[in-house]
């Protein structure tokens, strides 16, 4: 083999090796987005670190006011009481200045949800959430169970009332919240067809904002994220960043966004069969470098008299249909630098997100 051919072969192998190594590196999981604004989000940093194993312990530390805590757990935590005795409790009201962190890959809040009201500076990381066990424990033809189950609900259909049916509910004046590397799910919506049995996976209402939701896995549900409870629930500082999340087999609200500003980038959505980003009532959403596959109505505005708008940048759509059409254009005001975490090549988003989104993916955790 002559020297020129040998040098060319060596260069090609070297380039392939460098490219492969660069691609396989763990992404930057640092906090970016709107949770870095408004004074930033540090959770319980600088406070006492505690390890909990029971619902009572988690509730005690998470609900303690005016005290910084880094709360860790590594296994399944269920609510207290029982469905049969009609004394089940599965809601925790998270107070300000808390970090609640799952260790390893088995931290699971089974039948437990978080409510965040008038609280700020909270980090929730590496935890799996579901209310399936509550629904499965309700006896057939059960009558109402206070704070747990409604036979007719708001729309004449059965409804879980634990934590108001949400896995995480953020409301009133709650700000500076980071939800990262978590998993949220209920039941396959094609099989469990009551769209009201559970409410949202992560909902945000009232004067709440400066939130980042990153590297999370949302799946098997009807209504993913309601942002703004009605067309009158508007807030100018409702500012939320969604990035590198994996959405799979969900009907809609990914998210449904009323008013304010959002940044939705580098997310992968598969089999969202009702609609993904629904921008309503004057909202402006930057939808940037996302990968949408086998989805319906990727970016749209529907069901409000006042429409929303979107800034669409380099998104990839594979086998998608957009019956509702795209909303009006806008230019979203994004004040933070996110270049260090941005996946610049949209075609890479699918593999990166499916590899690194969800629990057990944090290095050193």
Active site residues: 253
- Which residues have C-beta within 8 Å of that of residue 58, sequence separation ≥ 6? 52, 71, 73, 77, 92, 100
* SS3 state at 197: coil
Q: Within 13 Å of residue 24, how many CA atoms lie on the same side as its CB?
A: 6
Residue for token pair 């051919």: 5
Considering just the CA atoms, what is the radius of gyration of the chain in Å?
A: 21
Q: Which two tokens stand for residue 50?
A: 């505690």
Peptide bond into 255 cis (omega under 30): yes
**How many CB atoms lie under 10 A from the CB of residue 103?**
16
Q: Which two tokens stand for residue 126?
A: 């590496």
What is the DSSP track for 275-317? -SEEEETT-EEEEES-EEES-B-SEE--SSSSB-EEEEES-EE
**How many CB atoms lie under 10 A from the CB of residue 293?**
17
């Amino acid at each position: 083999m002559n020297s020129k051919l040998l040098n060319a072969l060596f260069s090609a192998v070297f380039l392939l090796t460098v490219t492969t190594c660069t691609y396989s590196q763990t992404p930057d999981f640092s906090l970016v987005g709107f949770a870095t604004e408004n004074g930033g989000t540090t959770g319980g940093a600088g406070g006492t670190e505690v390890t909990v194993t029971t619902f009572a312990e988690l509730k005690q530390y998470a609900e303690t006011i005016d005290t910084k805590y880094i709360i860790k757990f590594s296994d399944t935590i269920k609510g207290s009481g029982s469905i049969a005795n009609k004394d089940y409790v599965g809601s925790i009201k998270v107070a300000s200045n808390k970090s609640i962190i799952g260790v390893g890959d088995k931290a699971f809040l089974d039948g437990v949800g978080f409510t965040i009201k008038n609280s700020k500076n909270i980090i929730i990381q590496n935890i799996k959430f579901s209310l399936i066990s509550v629904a499965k424990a309700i006896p057939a033809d059960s009558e109402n169970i206070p704070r747990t189950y409604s036979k007719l609900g708001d729309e004449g259909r059965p409804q879980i009332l634990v934590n108001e049916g949400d896995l995480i509910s953020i409301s009133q004046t709650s700000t500076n919240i980071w939800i990262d590397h978590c998993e949220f799910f209920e039941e396959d919506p094609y099989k469990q067809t009551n769209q009201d049995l559970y409410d949202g996976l992560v909902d945000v209402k009232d004067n709440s904002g400066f939130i980042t939701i990153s590297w999370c896995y949302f799946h098997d549900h009807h209504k993913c994220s309601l942002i703004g409870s009605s067309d009158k629930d508007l807030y100018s500082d409702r500012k939320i960043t969604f990035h590198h999340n994996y959405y799979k087999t969900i009907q809609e609200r990914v998210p449904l966004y009323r008013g304010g500003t959002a940044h939705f980038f580098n997310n992968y959505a598969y089999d969202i069969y009702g609609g993904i980003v629904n921008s309503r009532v004057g909202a402006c959403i930057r939808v940037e470098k996302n990968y949408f596959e086998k989805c319906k109505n990727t970016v749209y505005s529907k069901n409000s008299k006042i429409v929303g708008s979107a800034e669409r940048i380099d998104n990839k759509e594979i086998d998608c249909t957009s019956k509702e059409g795209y909303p009006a254009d806008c230019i979203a005001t994004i004040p933070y630098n996110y270049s260090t975490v941005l996946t610049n090549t949209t075609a890479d988003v699918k593999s990166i997100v499916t590899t690194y989104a969800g629990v057990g993916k944090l290095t050193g955790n």
